[in-house]
């Protein structure tokens, strides 16, 4: 298969790997009540494993990304797939809550981080055209997790106990992810003998130390942090908010499904628009739209209104996320893609970890979710203003010179 065709194999592999990995981690909410009933552990204690997971993802993202720069995506993603399968299997057998928090939270979080930065770095390196669309399709695969792995986990816990169900998910992860990771290859420009291609890269003389100290990298990290902090609280707490508005729990949960489905279209839509109008422009527009989207939840009180806002928020927040990797690829050398994308992913994971905690504190203090959405709007505006300050690196004379 020629390189032009094989790049779409990389996209398909990335989508599948992300779907299974993210789905395995985010199946935890499905296990909450069965686990609590069977073990006597508190729901809050079990949920804390997810917070540990986000923090572990943040700390591991840059490490996995740097390793993928050094050794290529295949061994890194393969190691992550093996670690994820083993961690899920181990988590299904633990005997205490603390053990579960450490095994599921820390180890699973570290393993899932191996799928994001290395895969995004790999995909951006394979595409010179249709790059935004390719990255968005990989992200869309990750977005399929709530519609595939979560229902599977829900069905499993109706047939088996939670330990057997989690063990089955570990087996599914191993059977699907380990063979798929073997399909990954380094981008052609990083293969031996392609030094000339690397010389034409953006900022080809830049070192990693210079890159992580650059204003461009810092701006992208801050924008991603505030971007994820904007939507993490509303994502986590909207079902609870809908219940306080008198909507039955079973109906309220479907808001997530609507948001997830809209996100599928958002990823592809923003990918196409990013290729046409520029990733940075679409990122700023998306961040501005996201800030008002989450604010609109304040005015929702009926299920139909929640659905309408969920479509808007899901479309935008899922659409903007892949654009960070595209902007990184346009401004930094391919040789350090994993490290730089890992850094922005680290910031995003920290932002995601903030929302659930702050939302709970705000609700406990005010007995209302109003200030959660107002605060999220404020963080969305901050993300927009930060993204507006991004200035691409000046291109060198060699890069501006016409070919031939």
Residues 227 and 369 in one domain: yes
Alpha carbons 20 and 37: distance in angstroms, whole number:
26
Region for residue 214 given its phi and psi (left: phi exceeds 0; alpha: psi -120 to 50; beta: otherwise): beta
Residues 273 and 206 in one domain: yes
> Considering 160, 179, 199, which residue would you say is the last residue of a domain?
199
Residues 39 and 168 in one domain: yes
The DSSP code for 103 is I
User: For residue 30, what are the CA distances in angstroms to 34, 36, 151, 360?
Assistant: 8, 11, 9, 20
- The parent domain of residue 152 ranges over 1-199
pLDDT at 42: 84
CATH number, domain at 180?
1.20.1250.20
Residues 123 and 209 in one domain: no
Q: Name the residue with higher pLDDT: 44 or 265.
A: 265
pLDDT > 70? residue 192: no
Q: How many Å separate Cα 292 from the centre of its chain? A: 21
Contact 208, 343 (CB under 8 A): no
Residue 58 in any domain: the answer is yes
> Tokens 């992580």 map to which residue?
212
pLDDT at 397: 42
pLDDT > 70? residue 199: no
Alpha carbons 166 and 340: distance in angstroms, whole number:
33
Residues 14 and 54 in one domain: yes
Residues 185 and 209 in one domain: no
Q: Cα(first)–Cα(last) distance of the chain, in Å?
A: 28
The DSSP code for 401 is S
pLDDT > 60? residue 263: yes
> Considering 169, 199, 229, which residue would you say is the last residue of a domain?
199
pLDDT > 60? residue 341: yes
Mean pLDDT of 373-386: 96
Residues 207 and 335 in one domain: yes
pLDDT > 50? residue 262: yes
Cβ-in-10-Å burial (0-12, 13-18, 19+) of 102 comes to middle
Residues 73 and 144 in one domain: yes
Residues 104 and 208 in one domain: no
pLDDT > 90? residue 383: yes
Contact 97, 211 (CB under 8 A): no
Residue 273 in any domain: the answer is yes
> Considering 146, 174, 199, which residue would you say is the last residue of a domain?
199
Residues 166 and 49 in one domain: yes
* Residue 179: pLDDT band with limits 50, 70, 90: very high
Q: How many CA atoms lie within 13 A of 348 on its CB side?
A: 23
Mean pLDDT of 83-112: 94
pLDDT > 90? residue 198: no
pLDDT > 90? residue 164: yes
* Max mean pLDDT range (25-34, 325-334, 354-363): 325-334
pLDDT at 195: 53
Q: How many Å separate Cα 4 from the centre of its chain? A: 26
pLDDT at 309: 95
Residue 399 in any domain: the answer is no
User: For residue 126, what are the CA distances in angstroms to 152, 153, 305?
Assistant: 33, 34, 42
pLDDT > 90? residue 147: no
Residues 267 and 292 in one domain: yes
Alpha carbons 248 and 240: distance in angstroms, whole number:
10
* Residue 395: pLDDT band with limits 50, 70, 90: low
pLDDT at 398: 43
- Rounded to 5°, the CA angle 8-9-12 comes to 85
* Residue 2: pLDDT band with limits 50, 70, 90: low
Indicate if the alpha-carbon torsion angle 208, 13, 135, 62 is positive or negative: negative
| Continuous segment of H or E residues that includes residue 296 | none
Contact 56, 116 (CB under 8 A): no
Alpha carbons 290 and 114: distance in angstroms, whole number:
27
* Residue 222: pLDDT band with limits 50, 70, 90: very high
Residue 402 in any domain: the answer is no
Q: Which of 57-61, 171-175, 238-242, 345-349 has the lowest mean pLDDT?
A: 238-242
Residues 375 and 306 in one domain: yes
Contact 45, 165 (CB under 8 A): no
* Residue 203: pLDDT band with limits 50, 70, 90: low
How many domains does the chain contain in total? 2
> Tokens 């990733």 map to which residue?
279
Alpha carbons 213 and 197: distance in angstroms, whole number:
25
Q: Which pair of tokens denotes residue 8?
A: 């779409």
The DSSP code for 106 is I
Residue of 343, 325, 275 lying closest to 125 (CA atoms): 325
Residue 404 in any domain: the answer is no
Alpha carbons 404 and 205: distance in angstroms, whole number:
22
Residue 99 in any domain: the answer is yes
Length of the chain: 404
pLDDT at 354: 80
> Tokens 């194999």 map to which residue?
9
In Å, the largest CA–CA distance within the chain is 71
- This prediction has a pTM of 0.80
pLDDT at 200: 58
Residue 400 in any domain: the answer is no
Q: How many CB atoms lie within 10 A of CB 17?
A: 29
* Residue 399: pLDDT band with limits 50, 70, 90: very low
pLDDT > 50? residue 402: no
Q: How many Å separate Cα 322 from the centre of its chain? A: 8
* Residue 257: pLDDT band with limits 50, 70, 90: confident
Residue 323 in any domain: the answer is yes
């Amino acid at each position: 298969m020629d390189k032009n065709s094989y790049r779409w194999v990389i996209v398909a592999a990335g989508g599948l790997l992300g779907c299974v990995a993210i789905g395995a981690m985010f199946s935890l909410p499905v296990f909450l009540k069965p686990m609590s009933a069977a073990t006597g552990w508190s729901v809050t204690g079990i949920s804390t494993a997810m917070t540990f997971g986000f923090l572990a993802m943040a700390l591991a993202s840059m490490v996995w990304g740097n390793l993928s720069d050094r050794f290529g995506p295949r061994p890194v993603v393969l190691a992550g797939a093996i670690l994820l399968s083993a961690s899920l299997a181990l988590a299904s057998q633990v005997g205490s809550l603390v053990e579960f928090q450490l095994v599921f939270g820390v180890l699973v979080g570290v393993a899932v981080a191996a799928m994001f930065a290395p895969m995004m770095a790999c995909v951006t390196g394979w595409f010179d055209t249709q790059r935004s669309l390719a990255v968005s399709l990989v992200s869309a695969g990750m977005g399929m997790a709530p519609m595939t792995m979560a229902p599977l986990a829900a069905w499993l816990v109706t047939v088996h106990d939670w330990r057997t169900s989690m063990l089955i998910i570990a087996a599914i992860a191993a059977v699907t992810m380990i063979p798929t990771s073997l399909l990954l290859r380094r981008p052609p420009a990083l293969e031996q003998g392609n030094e000339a291609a690397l010389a034409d890269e953006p900022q080809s003389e830049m070192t990693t130390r210079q890159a992580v100290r650059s204003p461009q990298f810092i701006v992208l990290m801050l924008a991603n942090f505030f971007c994820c902090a904007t939507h993490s609280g509303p994502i986590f707490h909207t079902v609870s908010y809908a219940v306080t508005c008198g909507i039955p729990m079973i109906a309220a949960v479907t808001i997530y499904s609507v948001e997830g489905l809209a996100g599928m279209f958002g990823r592809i839509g923003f990918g196409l628009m990013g290729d046409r109008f520029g990733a940075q422009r679409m990122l700023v527009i998306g961040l501005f739209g996201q800030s008002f989207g989450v604010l609109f939840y304040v005015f929702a009180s009926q299920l139909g209104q929640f659905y309408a806002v969920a479509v808007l928020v899901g479309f935008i927040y899922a659409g903007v996320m892949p654009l960070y990797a595209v902007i990184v690829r346009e401004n930094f050398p391919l040789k350090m893609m994993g490290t730089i994308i890992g850094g922005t992913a680290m910031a995003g994971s920290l932002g995601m970890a903030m929302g659930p905690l702050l939302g709970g504190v705000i609700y406990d203090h005010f007995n209302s979710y109003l200030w959660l959405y107002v605060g999220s709007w404020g963080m969305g505006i901050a993300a927009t203003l930060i993204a507006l300050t991004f200035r691409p690196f000046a291109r060198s004379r060699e890069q501006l010179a016409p070919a031939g």
